[in-house]
Structure 1
Amino acid sequence: MTSTSLAAPVGAAHAVPSRGGPLARVWRGRPEDAPWVRPAFLGLLAVTTVLYLWNLSASGYANSFYSAAVQAGGESWKAFFFGSLDAANAITVDKPPAALWPMALSVRLFGLGSSQILVPEVLMGVGTVAVLYAAVRRRFGAGAGLVAGVVLALTPVAALMFRFNNPDALLALLMTVAVYCVLRALEQDRGAARWLVLAGVAFGFAFLAKTLQAFLILPPLALVYVVCAPGGLGRRLGRLALGGLAMLVSAGWWVALVELWPASSRPYVGGSQNNSFLELTFGYNGLGRINGNETGIARMFNDSIGGQISWLLPAALILLVAGLVVTWRAPRTDTARSAFLVWGGSLLITLAVFSFMAGIFHEYYTVALAPYLAALVGMGAAVLWEERTRLLASAALAVTVGGTAWWGWTLLGRTPEWLPWLRWAVLVAGAVAALGLLFAGRVDRRIGLGVAGLGLAAGLAG
């Protein structure tokens, strides 16, 4: 592939004049977009909202530990600030309070109830889908963005945690925002500092949601920016330092206040051994999460975790490799390759930590993988689709779809009493789609799109 073949988003249309009032422009979207783009995006957000709100009350007050802190924050501003478990401010939860703040504000505005606690989590899920779509479509087109958004919305662990009140919903949203900002910084020389500062702020508040997990993807993002961003090396390093300073300030203001606040007039820091948030961060929420047993790369595919996150994990890894192969000869600052490196690096480092961490680990942590995985599926599928006239590209598409269908068949086989016909439908549809994709570059485009749609449906059906 030449470095210019991905210069414009896939499926971009010629510019047309914008007509109508504000509502018409919201529905129509950008003048250069095809007519279907904005309605499809709004439809994705609407369907995601409905699916996540559907029977939301089934969870009741969800995690009562965090719901108690939300109730306290709705009654006392001091409890709100510290994340106290009770309005009397005896002890805090074992996390910083940022994830509690949206729910506590909702309770203050609308009263205490299950919906008042959980609807903000749903909105975070819809927001994450929207940000992911925006990040992917900027470089790979609306089709790729829609695929990424659908994959994220339907990933089981995402559909669970964006309907629950643990800190992971806000963490996933802020990490996706941070990646989006870094990708924007990689696009330009002028204005890059502003985007890196915004990324730093997102990382800082992600730390205030779930401490050190927010920093897992910092190494690959910083490395990709230093190597692949436009401008001289000194300017790149300076901008990165500015983003780091923004991260330190946006995370450190709350930590400093808590550590400097007289212990006698604030709640005890829950989960800590000596009433110190720093000890909590590096102890119970730091090394305490790493030490232990039951580790290995197979963890993500086992009986308890596989059905939550791994449906499209093999596909994401295959498409990451394919995307890097296709863009390998591009210039240093090529934004398509940078996107694969950013999303792929984030996936791999988080996957490695989750696979080998041997301390406290819960299946729902894997929601952090969902945006990275979804982005790679959307981007990789778009790149290979553009290259489908080449045998290796069409073969990679076929292997991805066929392998995904087989893995879906395997996962569905672990619950044979639930819709037993579905696993066979997934396997057959995936096999047919894989065979058709081998010839996608030699048939009519509409037929090829139909085959690709069948493959996508097979991958998502489970």
Structure 2
Amino acid sequence: MTTVLITDATSPTVPYVAATATARRRPGPWVWALVALAVVTFALTAWGVGGSMSEYYASIALSMSKSWPNFFFGSVDPAGTVTLDKIPGSFWIPALSARLFGFSAAAVIVPNALAATGAAVITAITARRWAGPAAGIVAGAVVATTPVLTAVARSNQPETFFVLALALTAWAATKALDRRSLGWLVLAGVFIAAGFQTYMLESWAVWPALAAAYLCTRQPWLTRLVHLAISGAASLALSLAWIVVVALIPASERPYIGSTLSNSPWEMVFGA
């Protein structure tokens, strides 16, 4: 026999359930602390926008905003005759901002401030998963108040997006390690590739530590090796995508590759 509990609208169960649902929807201390971290980080990095703008890097963002070929290749001049001395990933967002909103100090610097804010928040979320909410906020605050990051984010230097890529890599990597997940490991590799597009070889320095940590997860050795091989191959392919495309385009149909003797993107990145 099954007993069914029936309550009417006057039953105290109904308001109790409603109150519980409302409490669950209400943001808790962690959410408010995260919002405060984001606001403070953005204030620190966007304050006095334009005060430390690099005219050289600003001119590059302006040149890249003039046409889609300039945007893709990272042309340093509006005529598109020569490229940056690096992969232009760090300049794609500022250049797109300048194209959409018009060229100004805010258009090329605020994206950096937003990237720094994102890095602080993502670091906090990642640290919370390992050590709790208090440690998460402390970790995010350390990122937000690191003097060199604050200074770089207030300008239009290219490093801020690399820091954001590293924070995203750490977030995906913790998921991959906790869940022993190929999908999350591949995503971590994708973020490493994104970091490669912004700061080139430095981004790959993350892979040895990530691979060593994943090899320590509890699953069959063959599974671990296959997961690392797949994610590593995807990361490598995405990292080299811009280089391969540019190398396949005839030299007469693209800008000269900056800082090279052979007009080769391979030389620009790998020195050979």
Contact 2:47 2:154 in 1 (8 A): no
Contact 1:72 1:79 in 2 (8 A): yes
For residues 84 and 57 of structure 1, the distance between their equivalents in structure 2, rounded to whole angstroms, comes to: 22
Per-residue CA deviations over 1:278-314 (Å, capped at 9, x if unaligned) read: 1111229xxxxxxxxxxxxxxxxxxxxxxxxxxxxxx
Letter of the aligned partner of 1:184 in structure 2? Answer: K
Contact 1:67 1:117 in 2 (8 A): yes
For residues 172 and 158 of structure 2, the distance between their equivalents in structure 1, rounded to whole angstroms, comes to: 21
Per-residue CA deviations over 1:358-409 (Å, capped at 9, x if unaligned) read: xxxxxxxxxxxxxxxxxxxxxxxxxxxxxxxxxxxxxxxxxxxxxxxxxxxx
Equivalent in the alignment of 1:246: 234
Equivalent in the alignment of 1:19: 22
Equivalent in the alignment of 2:14: none
Following TM superposition, by how much is the alpha carbon of 1:17 offset from its aligned partner in structure 2, in angstroms? 4.2
For residues 130 and 59 of structure 2, the distance between their equivalents in structure 1, rounded to whole angstroms, comes to: 43
Q: Kindly indicate whether residue 243 of structure 2 is the aligned counterpart of residue 255 of structure 1.
A: yes
Following TM superposition, by how much is the alpha carbon of 1:249 offset from its aligned partner in structure 2, in angstroms? 2.3
Per-residue CA deviations over 1:136-173 (Å, capped at 9, x if unaligned) read: 00121110000111111111001111222222111111
Equivalent in the alignment of 2:70: 79
Structure number with the bigger relative contact order (C-alpha 8 A, sep ≥ 6) is 2
Contact 1:186 1:230 in 2 (8 A): no
Equivalent in the alignment of 1:95: 86
Contact 1:97 1:209 in 2 (8 A): yes
Equivalent in the alignment of 2:39: 46
Letter of the aligned partner of 1:206 in structure 2? Answer: G
Equivalent in the alignment of 2:100: 109
For residues 232 and 261 of structure 1, the distance between their equivalents in structure 2, rounded to whole angstroms, comes to: 44
Contact 2:81 2:256 in 1 (8 A): yes
Q: Kindly indicate whether residue 48 of structure 2 is the aligned counterpart of residue 55 of structure 1.
A: yes
Contact 1:170 1:206 in 2 (8 A): yes
Following TM superposition, by how much is the alpha carbon of 1:273 offset from its aligned partner in structure 2, in angstroms? 1.7
For residues 194 and 44 of structure 1, the distance between their equivalents in structure 2, rounded to whole angstroms, comes to: 29
Q: 1:225 aligns with which of 214, 237, 243?
A: 214
Q: TM-score, normalised by structure 1?
A: 0.53
Q: 1:210 aligns with which of 199, 205, 215?
A: 199
Equivalent in the alignment of 1:68: 59
Contact 1:188 1:230 in 2 (8 A): no
Aligned-partner SS, 1:58? coil
Contact 1:92 1:270 in 2 (8 A): yes
Q: Kindly indicate whether residue 140 of structure 2 is the aligned counterpart of residue 140 of structure 1.
A: no
Following TM superposition, by how much is the alpha carbon of 1:69 offset from its aligned partner in structure 2, in angstroms? 1.7
Following TM superposition, by how much is the alpha carbon of 1:18 offset from its aligned partner in structure 2, in angstroms? 4.2
- 1:374-393 to structure 2, matched below 5 A, reads none
Letter of the aligned partner of 1:57 in structure 2? Answer: G
Q: Kindly indicate whether residue 266 of structure 2 is the aligned counterpart of residue 271 of structure 1.
A: no
For residues 32 and 227 of structure 2, the distance between their equivalents in structure 1, rounded to whole angstroms, comes to: 37
- 1:59-458 to structure 2, matched below 5 A, reads 59=52, 62-189=53-180, 192-226=181-215, 228-283=216-271
Letter of the aligned partner of 2:39 in structure 1? Answer: A
For residues 39 and 21 of structure 2, the distance between their equivalents in structure 1, rounded to whole angstroms, comes to: 24
For residues 139 and 201 of structure 1, the distance between their equivalents in structure 2, rounded to whole angstroms, comes to: 22
RMSD: 1.7
Per-residue CA deviations over 1:19-60 (Å, capped at 9, x if unaligned) read: 27xxx94x61xxxxxx3221111111111111211112212x
Contact 1:161 1:168 in 2 (8 A): yes
Contact 1:196 1:242 in 2 (8 A): no
Contact 1:136 1:145 in 2 (8 A): yes
Q: TM-score, normalised by structure 2?
A: 0.89
For structure 2, which runs of at least 5 residues remain unmatched after alignment?
A: 1-18
Letter of the aligned partner of 1:77 in structure 2? Answer: W
Equivalent in the alignment of 1:317: none
For residues 18 and 138 of structure 1, the distance between their equivalents in structure 2, rounded to whole angstroms, comes to: 25
